[in-house]
Chains A and B, each alone.
Chain A
Amino acid sequence: MAARPAGEVTPVLTAHGVRRSFGPTVVLDGVDLAIRPGEVVALLGGSGSGKSTLLRILAGLDADAAGLVDRPKDLAVVFQEHRLLPWKRVLDNVSLGLTGPGVRERALAALEEVGLRGRDTAWPVELSGGQAQRVAVARALVREPALLLLDEPFGALDALTRLRMQQLFNRLRDQHGFAALLVTHDVEEALLLADRTLVLEDGRLVEDSPVTLPRPRTPDDPGFGTLRRHLLDRLGVAA
């Protein structure tokens, strides 16, 4: 690998020339991507643009994709649906696959962080949509990932719950300092959470721009509207 310029850190994830087609349809046509440690990157794109496909490839869930992906071992995924195992209680879902001492305590601590300490013995069917998604976040967090991949994690939630989840995400990110790739179709969400936004169009990344707004951010911040307008333009939404 070529020598890096001084001051540049080793990315936590790199992807080179990622290609994926389903039959004759080319969904990803050579995507290059690098995420620095602790960086939150939002991946935007219209529906069917291949955002989720890219995330699945980065997560190592797609064996039929071409290209090089260098992913960290400690990686966790939060999907659009909570994907909790319905036959395991909340705590056992969080600690799924964990080994070593203190698993129970670690899982309880993760539940505490998402505000669900009291629901550790509940079954997933007993949770509301927002609670279940928080458990899914706890399941990812408890692994102390260097990189978190999130596939429209708040997309299925109602507007109020989504706002709370976004605040929760920012808080957790401040505490844990994980890097994250956030797939979303919500421009506002991308601007509230991310350090950098990518736009995927026709299988390629057509936009890569930093979000320089100071934190904490709200949609009323000066400059927010301009960035929002710009991204919406890139996504092909006319004013």
Chain B
Amino acid sequence: MTTAAGTAAPAAVPAHPLDDADTPAPAPPGRAGRRWQRPITPVVLFGVWETAARTGLLPPHKLPAPSDVLAAGWRLSGDGTLLVHLLDSLQRAAIGLAVGGGLALVLGAVAGLLRIGDDLVDPPVQMARMLPHLGLVPLLIIWVGIGEELKITLVALGSFFPIYFNTYAGIRDIDERLVEAARTCGLGQLARLRHVVLPGALPSLFLGLRLAIGAAWLSLVVGEQVNAQTGIGFLMMEAREFAQTDVVLLGLLVYALLGLLSDLALRIAERRTLSWRRGLQAR
């Protein structure tokens, strides 16, 4: 059973170990040859943007030149401002992710492993999933105020659902026949959990984590625009008040880079951990 759950579609786990279909398909001919064409449009767009800003076609308070944004980045990195705000944002993301993700992992495992857990945990989670968590901001302000708690709660809420659903689906999609084989090899429940369930659910867990990190950044962007005193979001809101459009754009760039880098790091970790899926790893 492969239920797509909201943003969290279960990972494309090889359906069962008999499938040899996991071999990478050969690249279509000409693909590599056309590779150089791909950067053309972005480069041209940036060129047009830069020129339009330099010639005054674009008013600088609406959209400053890309080079100005980079210069602002250089300036703020130089005096350490960017780093301070960046670290604060990272800390909020990490705490929120740990709280929301940890809770999701526990509840997802309980619902995935135990029938009673499925009956008791899954229905309320399915109902809560329908609430857009960013729409909860007004309510959360009433509940936890406008301080750090708000930002962390938002991140935790955002990262909870992808991890919960993928943990649940990952456990449910484990091939029952493998569990059975492990039983005939004398593995008890704990050993089966460790040797069969956990590694079997891992691809799905990775997918959940990737979606959760995406949701965490998104939640952070929204949360940091509510009365923050530090953080990338605060930097952007403050810059808006002083009409420093270059700093606003810089904030966007930093958010994008954070998303890109975390996704990349996770992909590398996934590749290493899940090397069995392709049998790529050298001996």
A residues sitting closer than 8 Å to B (CB atoms) are 59, 61, 75-77, 79, 81-89, 96-97, 121-126, 129, 139, 143
Contacts and interface: CB of A to CB of B under 8 A. Distances in A.
Contacts of A59: 184
Interface string B52-88: 0000000000000000000000000000000000000
Given A85-B178, A96-B182, A125-B14, 9 more contacts: A83-B17, A83-B178, A83-B181, A86-B14, A88-B276, A96-B195, A123-B275, A125-B278, A143-B186
Interface in B153-181: 177-178, 180-181
Contacts of B191: 97
Given A81-B177, A125-B20, A125-B22, A97 B277 contact: no
B274 to A, nearest CB: 8
A144 B74 CA distance: 69
B18 A81 contact: yes
Contacts of A86: 14, 17, 276-277
B200 interface: yes
B234 to A, nearest CB: 44
Interface in B192-221: 195-196, 199-200, 202
Interface of B: 14, 16-18, 20, 22, 177-178, 180-187, 191, 195-196, 199-200, 202, 274-279, 283
Instruction: Give the dominant DSSP class at B's interface.
Output: helix
Contacts of A123: 275-276, 279
Nearest to B280: A123
B22 A83 contact: no
A121 B281 CA distance: 10
Given A85-B199, A97-B186, A97-B187, A79 B276 contact: no
Given A85-B196, A125-B17, A79 B279 contact: no
B17 A143 contact: no
Nearest to A77: B184
A58 B187 CA distance: 18
Please indicate which of the listed interface residues A88, A96, A129, A143 has the most CB atoms of chain B within 10 Å of its own CB.
A96
Contacts of A75: 184
Contact of B185 (A61, A89, A121, A139): A139
23 contacts: A61-B183, A77-B181, A79-B177, A81-B16, A81-B17, A82-B18, A83-B17, A83-B177, A83-B178, A85-B17, A85-B181, A85-B199, A86-B14, A86-B17, A86-B276, A87-B199, A87-B200, A96-B182, A96-B187, A97-B191, A123-B276, A125-B278, A143-B186
Nearest to A56: B180
Contacts, number: 73
B184 A61 contact: yes
A97 B276 contact: no
A121 B283 contact: yes
A77 B196 CA distance: 17
Contact of B276 (A76, A83, A87): A87
A26 B200 CA distance: 34
B279 A125 contact: yes
A79 B181 contact: yes
A61 B180 contact: yes
Contacts of A97: 182, 185-187, 191
Contacts of B18: 81-82, 129
A119 to B, nearest CB: 11
A122 B280 CA distance: 10
B184 A84 contact: no
A125 B186 CA distance: 24
Contacts of A124: 17, 276
Contacts of B177: 79, 81, 83
B11 to A, nearest CB: 14
B279 A88 contact: no
A88 B185 CA distance: 14
Contact of A76 (B17, B184, B274): B184
Contact of B279 (A82, A85, A122, A139): A122
Contacts of B20: 125
Contacts of B202: 87
Contacts of A139: 185
A38 to B, nearest CB: 21
B183 A88 contact: no
B176 to A, nearest CB: 10
A88 B182 CA distance: 12
Contacts of A85: 17, 178, 181-182, 195-196, 199
A122 B282 CA distance: 10
Contacts of B182: 85, 96-97
Contacts of A83: 17, 177-178, 180-181
